[in-house]
Amino acid sequence: MKFFVDTADIADIKEMADTGLLDGVTTNPSLIAKSGRDFIEVTREICSIVDGPVSAEVVALDHETMMKEAETLRKIADNVCIKVPLTIDGLKTCKKLTSDGTQVNVTLCFSANQALLAAKAGATFVSPFVGRHDDNGFDGMSLIEDIVTIYSNYGFETEVLVASIRNPVHVLQSALIGADVATMPPAVIKGLFKHILTDKGIEGFVADWEKTGQSIPTS
């Protein structure tokens, strides 16, 4: 499974990239707004930090303007992935862009039927939102399972990018189902490292080592 971080905070992205575990970045207009910086400038800096796809979202709602915005965005860097909403105009834009080799992330997916449409439009990634799905009384993980099954049935190459991840359990369940990518806030990635027995084990080893009065030479 690939790990993407869902943020526009440069410090967080650099920290995650330094772990060697980061495969890409997803952003959206809300995350960019939180940074308080210029959209193009932030996107360009993120693309220079990570080698994998960096999702940059169009804000237009009509196909013609989406294409114009996408043309600006994909000039930023080779690893820009254009993010479009799962609407008729969004899928028209997706088909047009992927036909000439541009990566596209179709976002705001809330049903398996929508995911099927995205795959037929040639999406590189489809982003079903599990957390928001759960918030509205649905089972987000059942949605992921349905999409993975449908894509497997027909050999679609579109990757299932699980979004709106709220906790490490979402990551585990997505991996068990066979999703291709999990995009999550930095706090959730850090949460994957945590386990009470790991912490207790480290505490015990450190205490026992200190009792020996020894040190390992570092120079």
Catalytic residue, from 34, 75, 83, 120: name it. Answer: 83
Would you report the helix, strand and coil content of the chain in percent, each value rounded to 5? Answer: 50, 15, 30
Closest CA to 44 of 76, 11, 70: 76
Measure the CA angle with vertex 127, ends 122 and 131; round to 5°: 165
Burial grade of 69 (CB within 10 A; 0-12, 13-18, 19 or more): middle
68 is an active site residue: no
DSSP string, 55-123: EEE---SSHHHHHHHHHHHTTS-TTEEEEEESSHHHHHHHHHHHHTT--EEEEEE-SHHHHHHHHHTT-
Rounded to whole angstroms, how far apart are CA atoms 99 and 144?
A: 26
Collapsed DSSP state (helix, strand, coil) of residue 156: coil
Residues assigned a catalytic role: 83
